[in-house]
Structure 1
Amino acid sequence: MKKITYSVLAALLLSPVASATLLTNPSDPRTWQGATINTFAGLFAQTNAQIIANNLLDDGNFDPTGYVAGSLIQYNGGLPTLGASGTSLDLPNNASANDASYNYVVSSNNPAVAANAIDQHWIQTNNTIGATIWDLGFQASKAAVFNTIDHGPLPQESIESTVYLSNDKVNWTQAVTERVWLEGIYSDTSVLWDGFVYAVGTGTNSTFRYASVIWGGPGALHADGDNEINGIMGLQENFSGNPVPEAHTWLLLGLGFAGLRYIRRSV
């Protein structure tokens, strides 16, 4: 009888199936906040057909609900609780004078609070590798970057950072863009600061525990001296996040472990 491990059982119980609405037409005429397939092809030095073949563009939202976001553990070389953070003022499905605007405010609120949740709050990193670090919470194959937009053009302003991945916070591997969700986080497409969500990876089977983000750098589509990072999330190989365990999931997991112990004692 083959040995069944607890980690395999946990993966079966906790891992969701990834869904996607990948673009399939190289001549798709649609625009997303002014960007077209031609725009992405030019910026990524690919043909339209290559953009489609590489599954780069997903005409959908990346809904972070139910997934574990990364935790900020170092901010621009210092404590994650010290520094400035920003708040975008146009909230989804909420009529106000800030609708369809990039309006925001900057304050001295705890940057860790802003960087640990996927919402309207964000931080700005410097351009030193390893200065701003998120703990992804598990051994992730990729990382999703939730970037807040404060001006155009797009998609340049939404991919204005380079992400580096590590297991020891000393040796860093540059990641590259592998997927872009064209509808951002929210279904309310009037929220302009919610531009594009993108995922980065290394193109290998390696997994990583930590992510560091800098403004500009070789993975960015442009560099204007800053970035606005809403949050970072570790992803599995299939571009799914690490789900937040619910009470009934823990119950199932406990029952599974009990069953495994019974099986092992019976064979």
Structure 2
Amino acid sequence: MDWLQVVILSIVQGLTEFLPISSSAHLILVPVLTDWEDQGLAFDVALHLGSLSAVVIYFRGELVRMARSWLGSLAGRGVDGDARLAWWVILATLPVCVVGLAFHDAISVGMRSPLIIAFGLIVFGLALAWADWGHRGSRDETQLTLRDALVIGLAQALALIPGTSRSGITITAALLVGMSREGAARFSFLLSIPVIVLAGGMETLGLIRDAAEVEWFTLTVGTLLSGISAYLCIHFFLAFIRRVGMQPFVLYRLLLGAWLLWLFW
């Protein structure tokens, strides 16, 4: 990998991991459109570590409270709002784990087509527009119910289809159950933590199994760039959707999807 590839892929991962525009689609498309060689499993792990670090640092206060209350609920000290939110994050993660384990090979090998990405961008972009225009409410992540968590969790399983966007589909589902834009985004970001941990864990196991050669300096740079861009993305995204909404991201998805259809059909 040359340094231009390292910088572009790191920033693309950091920005698109949390924007509702599909990080997997962009990481698949960048090598296709540039004729770069595949960046390799080790670099993918490093980029995920950067994104994970960003969201953990950004929500560190909430995560500490959630962990403390969740452990307290296990010890029989009752379930408060923080413990309930922690349980909802765990529950909403289960569907994507089941689907990912059952269909990982079929999805990772058979669904990385630019045309599938194009249709995912367009179809789920329209779903995001529909949810944002006509169905969002005013509840935040502390007001979720068991039913809400299940709906969002089931929707998250669709993110395994390239072009869907994990953040996009979870925000869409959260808006549909009556959450505010900011509340939907914050819950989506919290949901990303166990998903990134699990995905990174699977990639790490593959890396260990293949005994691949590792360029540590390149991986460190990629991790830092991904983490910094992801942190800035979270901060500015929450402020942006509070004032503007989801429609610019919908428009981007539709234009990118249409361009891919024109390019690869």
TM-score normalised by the chain length of structure 1: 0.27
TM-score normalised by the chain length of structure 2: 0.27
The structure with more strand, counted as a fraction of residues:
1
Point out which structure has higher relative CO (alpha carbons under 8 A, 6+ apart): 2
Structure with max Cα Rg? 1
The structure with more helix, counted as a fraction of residues:
2
